[in-house]
Amino acid sequence: MDVSIIGSGYVGTTVAACLADDGHDVVNVDIDEELVAAINDGRSPIHEPGLDELLAEHAGGRLRATTDYEAVRDTDVTFVAVGTPSRDDGSIDTSVVEAATRSLGEQLAAKAGDHLVVVKSTVVPGTTDELVIPTLEAELDEPVGESVHVAVNPEFLQMGSAVENFRTPQKIVFGTTGDRWALDRLHELYAGVVEHADPAVVETGLREGEMIKYANNAFLASKVSLINDIGNVCKEFDVDAYEVADAIGLDDRIGERFLRSGLGWGGSCFPKDVAAIIAAAEHAGYEPPMLNAAVEVNDLQPQRLLDLLAEHVDLATARVAVLGLSFKPGTDDVRGSRAVPVVEGLRERGATVVAYDPVATEKFRAKHPEIDVEFAGSAAAALEGADACAVVTDWDEFAALDSEFDAMASPVVVDGRHVIERREGIRYEGLTW
Ligand SMILES: NC(=O)c1ccc[n+]([C@@H]2O[C@H](COP(=O)([O-])OP(=O)(O)OC[C@H]3O[C@@H](n4cnc5c(N)ncnc54)[C@H](O)[C@@H]3O)[C@@H](O)[C@H]2O)c1
Ligand SMILES: O=c1ccn([C@@H]2O[C@H](COP(=O)(O)OP(=O)(O)O[C@H]3O[C@H](CO)[C@@H](O)[C@H](O)[C@H]3O)[C@@H](O)[C@H]2O)c(=O)[nH]1
């Protein structure tokens, strides 16, 4: 099929490259000229395993990028995959979705024949009904459902494994008004993925499709907060929360994944999406106590790490090595990273901070110029002369550290991610074990 994708960030670029690889002709439309040039050169604008190879193979062939919205007129389907950030009060900011939809509607008004608009961005229930459809209709001469059709198709990929996740999903969600033409196009688009991975295909309504995405993220984030809450209880009794998690995970009603306790969840999705669905629920008249508690526990964990450090060293004068700045291993993304409250908290308590991350240092420096922190070129350099060490991200290379701890002024290690082995010669504290 001929496909256009508006917004070419983590999601838009991944989806474009994978659909091109499945044989579709794809054009990315983005306002960022550098990003468009990178895609046309066959270079990935983001760090994702496998994406460079796909872009190198398909750019200039079945895949291209442009800043010109007119390109959508030559396609049958358009995905809207622009960002949906948080406002200051945590509620969803849909202004980019609205702007992109308006530009799309202007083009579709000048196009003959049927067209499917697919909302891929994560949007709170009712957004497609109350914002996307009216915005399109304001540009079209006819109601949506005649020649222009609308669907939602939320995305569940994880950063660091985006290509693999898109190709082998456990489920695909198609939210429509029951519009058969739209559903047939969606099935046609995903035929390659379905043939390859045989996922469950969920056909549902527009609002249900939107809500499934929030429920998915809210559930996973809450699962991590629940194991952190349980882990904090474990710590009180000298019980290793990882042994407990391994055992309860054997019960398939609980499941073994997302039971790693420690510093909590960050990233570009969990914090913003949990905040957005709480804000939307409150706006509708319901205060969700469980979701609020999940956020509360998540906010508590960095504080607990600082308190543990303070039991061993005087933070007012200490030099503390912080290992890890990205929100999880395998990515240079620092959005919502637990490193931010840890480093800020250390600075507030008077500590000197020397931080190291294998890939995220530049992004952290650029995004947080206000935080006074020294950056080291290696974990060993960060540890040298430090009075204590806080492990923030579970990078594999930290698990291999050993004699590097001997160069610390006092070998206190507070591990927020269960990556360092207890060993002779270090004073080791796990956050929940
Ligand atoms: N990143 C993830 O892992 C992930 C996974 C699933 C769902 N999502 C959701 O997908 C959506 C996109 O997320 P992302 O991480 O790809 O965002 P992103 O910030 O990486 O990319 C958004 C892109 O949209 C472009 N853009 C902004 N305004 C535009 C306009 N008017 N017209 C065309 N392009 C425009 C930006 O230049 C940018 O390249 C969000 O709703 C997010 O919640 C993200
Ligand atoms: O057992 C666990 C699992 C995760 N985390 C933390 O949780 C956060 C999120 O991790 P992950 O879910 O792997 O990252 P994302 O790439 O942000 O993916 C989430 O957010 C995406 C955007 O909505 C969704 O598409 C994905 O399904 C969803 O997993 C990270 O800070 C992890 O360190 C834990 O603390 N313990």
> How far does the centroid of ligand 2 lie from the alpha carbon of residue 271, in Å?
10
d(CA 422, CA 429): 8
Pocket of ligand 2 (CB under 6 A): 122, 155-159, 217, 220, 224, 258-260, 262, 264-267, 269-270, 273, 327-328
Mean pLDDT in residue range 28-46: 95
pLDDT at 27: 98
Please work out whether the CB of residue 221 comes within 6 Å of at least one atom of ligand 1. Answer: no
120 is in an annotated binding site: no
pLDDT at 143: 97
pLDDT at 46: 84
% pLDDT > 90, the chain: 97
Active site residue 269: yes
Task: Indicate left, alpha or beta for 288 from its phi (over 0: left) and psi (-120 to 50: alpha).
Answer: beta
d(CA 85, CA 96): 9
* 388 contacts 428 by C-beta, under 8 angstroms: no
d(CA 17, CA 144): 29
Q: What is the pLDDT of residues 98-127, one digit of tens each?
A: 999 999 999 999 999 999 999 999 999 999
d(CA 123, CA 408): 48
pLDDT at 107: 98
Which token pair is 39? Answer: 């895609």
Q: Which of 154, 155, 168, 164 has its CA nearest to residue 48?
A: 164
Q: List Cα–Cα distances, 342 to 117, 157, 307, in angstroms.
A: 42, 27, 11
CA 237 to chain centre: 34
Per-residue DSSP letter, 373: -
**Which ligand gives the minimal distance to the CA of 326?**
2
Go through the chain and tell me how many residues it has.
433
Q: How confident is the model at residue 131 (pLDDT cuts 50, 70, 90)?
A: very high
Q: Which atom of ligand 1 is nearest to the CA of 156?
A: 6
* 310 contacts 388 by C-beta, under 8 angstroms: no
Mean pLDDT in residue range 162-190: 97
Q: Which atom of ligand 1 is nearest to the CA of 121?
A: 41
Catalytic residue among 18, 234, 269, 389: 269
pLDDT at 1: 97
Which token pair is 292? Answer: 């609020």
pLDDT at 148: 98
Scanning the structure block, which residue is given the tokens 């519009």? Answer: 179
3-state secondary structure of 31: coil
Per-residue DSSP letter, 182: H
Q: How confident is the model at residue 47 (pLDDT cuts 50, 70, 90)?
A: confident
Residue 115 φ then ψ, to 5°: -150, 140
Mean pLDDT in residue range 224-252: 98
Q: Which of 231, 291, 289 has its CA nearest to residue 264?
A: 231
* 395 contacts 366 by C-beta, under 8 angstroms: no
Sign of CA dihedral 247, 253, 256, 259: negative
Count of other CB atoms within 10 angstroms of residue 236: 7
Please, which residues have CB within 8 angstroms of residue 170's CB and are 6 or more apart in sequence? 156, 199, 200
Mean pLDDT in residue range 303-330: 97
Q: How confident is the model at residue 138 (pLDDT cuts 50, 70, 90)?
A: very high
pLDDT surpassing 90 at residue 23: yes
pLDDT at 125: 98
Please, which residues have CB within 8 angstroms of residue 332's CB and are 6 or more apart in sequence? 47, 326, 359, 360, 362, 363
pLDDT surpassing 90 at residue 141: no
Among 42-56, 221-235, 369-383, the least confident range? 42-56
Task: Indicate left, alpha or beta for 75 from its phi (over 0: left) and psi (-120 to 50: alpha).
Answer: beta
84 is in an annotated binding site: yes
3-state secondary structure of 378: coil
* 410 contacts 313 by C-beta, under 8 angstroms: yes
The interface predicted TM-score of the complex, written ipTM, equals 0.99
CA 342 to chain centre: 20
Residue type, 24: H
Instruction: Give bridge partners of residue 427 from the DSSP assignment.
Output: 412
d(CA 314, CA 87): 37
Q: How confident is the model at residue 412 (pLDDT cuts 50, 70, 90)?
A: very high
pLDDT surpassing 90 at residue 45: no
Mutating to test ligand 1, I would choose from 30, 82, 120, 163 the residue with most ligand atoms within 8 A of its C-beta, which is 82
Q: Which of 293, 266, 300, 264 has its CA nearest to residue 278?
A: 293
d(CA 196, CA 342): 42
pLDDT at 255: 98
Q: Which of 375, 365, 227, 239 has its CA nearest to residue 301?
A: 227
